[in-house]
């Protein structure tokens, strides 16, 4: 059951209003329902009463359904999900007209209505069933979700890591009838719960009165898989070379690191102590990744950066290898393993992108124009200089 006492009280009232029989209704999304809409998006952001209410206000959204997804139990009941043992999250499915609202806009709504740094619930609701997550339905949604998460992480808006999961969608189970449109059918109880949950106070502290702006992503560019930056938008994204080609063009260490998630020795790699001005690009795809302006000495023996040069060219994934949970960093176009990102970096981002030199190619400032990266020369103009971190 939810730990929020107010919500428990409101729930008991709601059951009284709508009848106990509603508790036994566990319906699945039908194929016919999916065919009758243009697009479908699935999000988990804590209490589905709140996320449903937030997304129903968005122009272009035709319907929002509360339910459960991401777990093991088939057709779970609300009580089973509340136990935290089913693996399911409280979630919503959003039916939207892509000609009126884009998936990128829905992502923006999602990020600005949750606490993406909370791995153990949302606001007053605690437990695994209240974690935040984005469930993608296709590769386009996956790419956009990963790029928007990377952009938010690099923005420095939050002083903690972004822990919202990005997962492949499987099955969605509709919640019981009394949960649907709860903000309308039980508006008084809903308002009391929402006020007491702390959700709106938190959102106001981060986003209220223009305090922060959600970073924008280029959806057209993302759909092409080209990543970020002017150079990427002008060129089609080439296919990634096959493994045999990569074995011939990369050194053994570069291949091991980028293609097999290897790690090079600390203090014994090419760029850990490089202090020249310029940018670092993916050794496989050439997509711009980091700038010397954001490089700092972390004392680890690997190149470290406060933020990406182009957030859209960076993809973050959960890494549970080595008996720990870390955040892996990969390139968007080249799909190269780069390293990991940690939350022990300097201000203003508080992040440390710990990157393998073998994943990178360094383009000195004086070579940017001839190498085709001339748009980044402006980073090194005298009036843009600042103290080193």
Residue 148 has a CB neighbour count (10 Å cut-off) of: 28
Question: 50 an active-site residue?
Answer: no
CA dist 349 and 345 (Å) reads 7
Question: Contact 225/233 with Cβ under 8 angstroms?
Answer: no
**CA–CA separation, 217 and 312 (whole Å):** 7
- 261 is a catalytic site residue: no
Quick one: DSSP state of residue 131?
-
| Annotated active-site residue in 50, 82, 186, 354 | 354
From start to end of 8-126, where are the E strands?
39-45, 61-69, 89-96, 121-122, 125-126
User: What is d(CA 172, CA 67) in angstroms, rounded to the nearest whole number?
Assistant: 7
Q: How many CB atoms within 10 Å of residue 223?
A: 14
Beta-sheet pairing, 352-355 with 337-342? antiparallel
**Rounded CA gap, 93 and 211, in Å?**
29
Spatial CA neighbour of 145 closest among 164, 122, 125:
164
Out of 47, 50, 82, 186, the active site residue is: 47
Helix segments in 57-208, DSSP class H: 78-82, 103-111, 139-155, 182-185, 187-197, 199-207
SS3 370: helix
User: What residues are annotated to the active site?
Assistant: 47, 354
């Amino acid at each position: 059951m939810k730990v929020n006492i107010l919500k428990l009280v409101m729930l008991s009232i709601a059951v009284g209003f709508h009848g106990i029989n509603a508790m036994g209704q566990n319906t699945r999304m039908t194929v016919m329902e999916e065919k009758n809409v243009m697009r479908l998006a699935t999000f988990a952001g804590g209490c589905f009463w709140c996320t449903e209410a937030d997304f129903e206000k968005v122009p272009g959204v035709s319907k929002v359904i509360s339910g459960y997804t991401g777990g093991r139990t088939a057709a779970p009941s609300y009580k089973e999900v509340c136990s935290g043992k089913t693996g399911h999250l409280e979630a919503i499915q959003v039916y939207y007209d892509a000609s009126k609202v884009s998936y990128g806009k829905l992502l923006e709504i999602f990020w600005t209505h949750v606490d993406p740094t909370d791995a153990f619930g949302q606001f007053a609701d605690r437990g695994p069933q209240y974690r935040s997550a984005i469930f993608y339905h296709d590769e386009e949604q996956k790419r956009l979700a990963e790029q928007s998460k990377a952009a938010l992480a690099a923005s420095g808006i939050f002083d903690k890591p972004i822990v919202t999961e990005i997962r492949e969608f499987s099955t969605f189970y509709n919640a019981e009838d009394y949960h649907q449109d709860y903000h309308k059918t039980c508006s008084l109880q809903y308002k009391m719960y929402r006020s007491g949950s702390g959700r709106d106070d938190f959102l106001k502290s981060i986003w209220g009165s223009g305090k922060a702006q959600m970073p924008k992503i280029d959806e057209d560019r993302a759909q092409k898989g080209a990543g970020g930056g002017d150079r990427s938008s002008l060129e089609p994204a080439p296919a990634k070379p096959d493994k045999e080609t990569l074995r011939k063009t990369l050194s053994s260490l570069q291949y091991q690191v980028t293609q097999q998630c290897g790690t090079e020795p600390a203090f014994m790699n090419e760029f850990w102590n490089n202090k020249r001005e310029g940018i670092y690009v993916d050794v496989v795809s050439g997509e711009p990744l980091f700038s010397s302006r954001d490089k700092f000495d972390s004392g680890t023996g690997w190149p470290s950066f406060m933020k990406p040069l182009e957030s859209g060219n960076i993809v973050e994934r959960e890494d549970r290898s080595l008996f720990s949970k870390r955040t892996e960093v990969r390139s968007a176009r080249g799909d190269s393993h780069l390293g990991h990102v940690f939350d022990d970096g300097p201000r203003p981002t508080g992040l440390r992108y710990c990157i393998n030199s073998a994943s990178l190619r360094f383009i000195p400032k004086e070579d940017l124009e001839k190498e085709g990266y001339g748009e980044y020369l402006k980073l090194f103009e005298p009036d843009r200089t600042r103290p080193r971190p």
